[in-house]
Amino acid sequence: MSDDETDRKIPVRGPLAGESPPSAAELSPQEEAEHEARGGVVAGRSRQGMFGVRGSGDTSGYGGLRLPAHVPQPAQRPYGDWFDDFTDDLLAAMEDNGIPAEAIQQVTVDRGEITYYVRREDLLPLCRVLRDDASLRFELCSSVSGVDYGPEVPQRLHSVYHLTSMTFRRRIRLEVTLEVDDPHVPSVVEVYPTADWQERETWDMFGIVYDGHPALTRILMPDDWDGHPQRKDYPLGGIPVEYKGAEIPPPDQRRAYS
């Protein structure tokens, strides 16, 4: 690495140095407020049963499933592989374009993939830098999707972006965390037109509102459908469907075959 490249590096502190607090999944209720105050952005929850149904005729075969909350911890530098050099290039490009380092709230490396948790107000300019900067060149947004970690988790809604650099053959993930009472995030369609239908699907299924989208309408469900079917608090059955007045019973009212 040349002296010029070394001079461009920015001192890394806070979340980018792996100093983020532990996830809320590890905290007691009394510690949760401190977790949020210190900037923790990722949380998970334990799971019992495939559909959360207990003591019923759950026919999925997973009624006895017990899984602890799994949340990848904030990564510590060095991240390994190409992640460190890329992060330095990203920070330099952010500084050159007036984006504060605090725009990245947390970095996670898990299963050979790197994820940057981004403040929603900085998402659009950050995507533009990732696309246009010559040292980054993430020309393609290959996926936009949603996650709902459930009512017990703070900032339960996540908007997830998979970006691909065809120039450097790299992939990264961006995530924006949202409260269910304020599920707004800027649309990235003006930077990545491929996000158009994917943002519509995420709105349809999870209720994440992509501000500035050219036509944020239902894409899978009927236009007059009430609710967002992939949210964790959405009913699992007993919902009238549009075909001949049929109704799907909830899991605890279905016939058991065991």
Mean pLDDT throughout 22-28?
43
**98-105 LR contacts (CB < 8 Å, sep 24+):** 98/125, 99/125, 99/126, 99/129, 101/10, 101/12, 101/13, 101/14, 101/16, 102/14, 104/15, 104/16, 105/15, 105/20, 105/39, 105/41
pLDDT in tens, 196-225: 999 999 999 999 999 999 999 999 998 888
Positions of E strands within 166-255: 170-178, 184-186, 209-211
What pLDDT, on a 0 to 100 scale, did the predictor assign at position 35?
A: 46
Sorted by where each begins, the domain ranges of the chain are: 72-253
The answer to whether 139 and 111 have CB atoms below 8 angstroms apart is no
Q: Which residue has the higher pLDDT, 55 or 109?
A: 109
pLDDT in tens, 47-96: 666 555 555 555 555 556 676 776 778 898 899 999 999 999 999 999 99
- pLDDT tens for each residue of 155-188: 999 999 999 999 999 999 999 999 999 999 999 9
Could you give the CA distance from residue 192 to residue 176 in angstroms, rounded to a whole number?
A: 16
Q: What residues form DSSP beta bridges with 173?
A: 115, 162
Looking at domain 72-253, its CATH architecture is 2-Layer Sandwich (3.30)
Give the N- to C-terminal CA distance of the chain in Å, as an integer.
65
Q: Is the pLDDT of residue 242 over 70?
A: no
